[in-house]
Chain A
Amino acid sequence: MSDSRSPAVPGPSGSPLLDVDRITVRFGGLVAVSDLDLDVPEGTIVSLIGPNGAGKTTAFNCVSGIYAPSGGSVRFRGKRLERALTPGTILKALAVGLLTGLLFAAAAVDVDRMWMAVVKRGMITGEPFTLAGAVERLRGYFRSELAIDQMAGKWRVVSSDGADVLAIKRDLAEARLVRDALQAKVTARRIDPGTVPDPTDLGPSDEPQAAGVTLPPVKEEVLDRLAAGKSRIRFRGWSGLALGLILGTAGTLAVWQRGRRSPHVVARAGISRTFQNIRLFSNMSVLENVLVGLDRTIPGGVLAMLLRTPANVRGEAAARKKALEALGFVGLAGDANRIAGQLPYGDQRRLEIARALATGARLILLDEPAAGMNPSETADLASLIERIRDSGVTVLLIEHHMNVVMRVSDRVAVLDHGTKIAEGTPAEVRRDEKVIEAYLGGGE
């Protein structure tokens, strides 16, 4: 219902607004639509007719992105209606993957012990908490370095994860010396983990830092385990990160791929529709139903809505105005505050049209809009459809009421058992023998 929409100029123009190119839809073994070709030129009303079960609604569902066709393509204004694979999409997937990876890595390196090593140990030795100190301890954890913590008033030299206690000292300075000496041993072992441990390595005199302190006896297995700790924890961290990165990225891309041609993408590109069995938001008011159609015209995210920024308030007001206009256009202006589900049947159909028009669509798909209407309502509907066309919106129509179809359509396509059996002006189609046969049954 935007004012910018210029009255359509029906006539020959380059490519058609909607170009359905040989689409086929299969459900298991059943072919619902086969090789359907359909062009909808801008500014026209094209009808799709056929007996029940001919595949008309299936074709609609393909166009509006509810089904993905098994073959063929649907082009709107020359473009396939799919979300493009942009660098942004890939970046987003990578970001999700990275987060998943970090989560996996945190679990793999035992985030609980890491926390103890990084946050709690800094507190224990009484140093003020600084970022640099925390980073240093974090690196120490990933290098699996020996650390000092406190228990019952004594200082303990412990492995980085706190699982092994190597020495207990009264004096902090002494504990530090022991830690350094033991660390030197562990590091020495790390340099060539393949070598068989030599008992002479244990001699305290070998370690220059150990002068003056007596090193506690540490079992060989413990030293080996400590020496291997670094590569173990790194392996865990990296493999967790890699696994999470792959899973997260692949999962995000898979979800993206499945939602690539979702109905909202199609709707945003400018195709809107109504449904054969009315699908209003029946517990919302009539006005709100139309406002849902205008959703995208209102600027602002969650915060803007909660803070009621001026732009958001203006957007809401403008949307209300447009919604009332759209309701006026279909003749429901007086019913704006009624609950949609309580409207009479015919009005519900018209509300659905108003809602679809409100999205600002260039092409509107009407699925049996006259179903269940009485003759006078049907006549009103036909003139409404013509007014829609005159306002610049192209119409693709499925209808069983032949008087509506013959009156409003510029072109008619006839489907039977999923195949198009005829196409032409209403007058041509009316005379077509195949069409008569399809409707009345073959006279063999």
Chain B
Amino acid sequence: MAAPPPSAAPLPPRPAGVGGWLASRWELVALVLLAAAPLCIPALGGALGGQVTTLFIYCILALALNVMVGYTGLVHLGIASFFGIGAYCLAILTVPMYPFRIGFLPAAVVAVLVTAGTGLALGAPTLRLRGDYLAIVTLGFGEVAKVTLRNLEQITGGMKGLNPVPPPGAGVTVAGLDLGKAFAIDPRWFYYLSLLSLAGVVLAMRRLETSRLGRALVAVREDELAAQAMGISATRVKLSAFAMSSAVAGLAGCLYAASLSTTADPNAYDFNRSIMVLCAVILGGLGSIPGTILGVAILVGFDTVLAPWADSWIQQMNINPSGSSALSFSGWRLAIFGLALVFVMRYRPEGLIPSRRLAAELHEEGP
């Protein structure tokens, strides 16, 4: 350079965008607390353990969606279909009904690859679409995938779904412990498996955020043309987002099918589930990892943990002897859900824990 820089650039104190190597401090604390929880709370060995496991799985699914909606700004209304494809892939490769029976880990790897490929196949022809149009395409894909899963009766078992999906490690014995049996008996095994997967996904997302691809995703969201003028191939970047998002959703699907030991029927992977996850991501904060997790904890936690608990409490207290639905908690579930969403969006449009980037976008400050 002919003209030297005016002054040696001082290294900034907080390197923006290049975060820690592993995770933020809060995430580590949360991980340690969650890992210790089953040792302190015996209820986690019962039904609650299963419910929390479901929460973790939904967290993974929401983080997958966050790659598309949060980072890249592509509205995706069909994430549940990838969840379903992952679940069915795992089931086909492991159920005793079919001759493959390759075990959880290899099957999960194949399922993740298949969902990533499906994501690419959906993304490639729709790359030029933005906003509403892409939303419609993904919505349509979700419905097509659901109906396909239902109608391929010979392969997917139709409305019956595929079952029983064997637990991970079925038939594997480590130090005299039959892993498959352990998974089947004690929900804490699944609790730890999904917590570990969630931690892995969070770590991957952290690294994505601070990497070249993560910056490119955000750049394409902010201004696609400018990003292209900087030599970034928007096509490639969006396809990567599609593939990553689908792959992680597929992983969540694998865990889901294995933890329920069935794929459930295809309606479990319908539009409602996609919307629920999308709501969780928006409520928590688009593009924010802790926000997404919090959003899932609130929305899905409300649905799967709090609502049944409140119902059983009402029953125990004998408040509602006639069984009127007006006095049961589940009767009000959706109303509370909707109201909460309305209020959060009114007073905190950037979400509960907004990402640094989006907070600025929604509360514009003049220069």
Tell yes or no: A251 within 8 A of B by CB.
Answer: yes
- 8 A-B contacts (beta carbon < 8 Å): A3-B1, A66-B229, A264-B228, A328-B6, A328-B8, A329-B3, A342-B365, A391-B2
> Which segment of A23-31, A139-147, A266-274, A408-416 sits at the interface?
A266-274
**In chain A between 238 and 266, which residues have their CB closer than 8 angstroms to a CB of chain B?**
251, 255, 259, 262-264, 266
A3 to B4, CA, bound (A): 12
Chain B residues positioned under 8 Å from A263 (CB to CB): 225, 228-229
A87-123 vs B: 1/0 string, CB under 8 Å? 0000000001001000000000001110110011011
B178 at the interface (CB under 8 A from A): no
A37 interfacial contact with B, CB 8 Å: no
In Å, the complex CA distance between A392 and B2 comes to 8
- B215 interface neighbour in A122, A292, A334, A392, Cβ under 8 Å: A292
* A324 adjacent to chain B (CB < 8 Å): yes
Known A316-B211, A336-B12, A342-B365: A264·B222 in contact at CB below 8 Å = no
Q: Is the CB of B365 within 8 A of A284?
A: no
Task: Give chain B interface residues in 20-47, CB to chain A under 8 Å.
Answer: 21
Q: Does B131 contact A (CB under 8 A)?
A: no
> Smallest CB-CB separation from A252: which chain B residue?
B124
Give bound CA distance, A331 to B7, whole Å. Answer: 8
Chain B residues within 8 Å of chain A by Cβ, number? 65
**A124 CB to nearest B CB, Å:** 11
A287 close to B12 (CB less than 8 A): yes
Residues of chain A within 8 A of B216, CB atoms compared: 292, 295
Evaluate contact between B360 and A339: CB separation under 8 angstroms.
Answer: yes
A391 touches B1 (CB 8 A): yes
Given the known inter-chain contacts A116-B154, A292-B216, please indicate yes or no for A123 contacting B365, CB distance below 8 A: no
Query: Would B18 and A320 count as touching, CB distance under 8 A?
Result: yes
With known contacts A284-B219, A295-B232, A328-B7, A123–B240 Cβ distance under 8 A = no
Instruction: Determine the residue in chain B with the shortest Cβ distance to A325.
Output: B5
- Asked if A15 is an interface residue, CB under 8 A from chain B, the answer is no
Question: Which of A193-201, A302-310, A419-427 forms part of the interface with chain B?
Answer: A302-310
Scan residues 229-282 of chain B and give those whose CB is less than 8 A from a CB of chain A.
Answer: 229-235, 240, 243-244
Let me know if A214 is at the binding interface, CB within 8 A.
no
A contact residues around B208 at 8 Å (CB): 305-306
Given A280-B226, A295-B216; A324-B9 close (CB under 8 Å): yes
Residues of A within 8 A of B (CB): 1, 3, 5, 7, 64, 66, 96, 99, 111-113, 115-116, 119-120, 122-123, 128-129, 251, 255, 259, 262-264, 266-268, 272-273, 275, 279-285, 287-288, 291-293, 295-296, 298, 300, 302, 305-306, 308, 312, 315-316, 319-320, 324-325, 327-329, 331, 333-334, 336-337, 339, 341-345, 348, 355-356, 359, 387, 390-392
Q: Mark B193-223, 1 if CB is under 8 A from A, else 0.
A: 0000000000010011001111110110011
Q: Cβ of A272 and Cβ of B230 under 8 Å apart?
A: yes
Chain A residue at minimum C-beta to C-beta distance from B234: A264
B1 close to A1 (CB less than 8 A): yes
Q: Is the CB of A262 within 8 A of B154?
A: no
Inter-subunit contact B151/A344 (CB<8 Å)? no
Query: Contacts A284-B222, A296-B231, A342-B365 hold; do A308 and B12 have CB atoms under 8 A apart?
Result: no
Q: Report the separation of the CA atoms of residues A378 and B223 in the bound assembly, to the nearest whole angstrom.
A: 27
| Contact, CB under 8 Å: A333 / B230 | no
Min CB gap A330→B, angstroms:
9
Judged by a CB distance under 8 angstroms, whether B321 is at the interface is no
Report A230 CB to chain B, min CB distance, Å.
Answer: 21
A216→B260 CA distance, assembly (Å) = 47
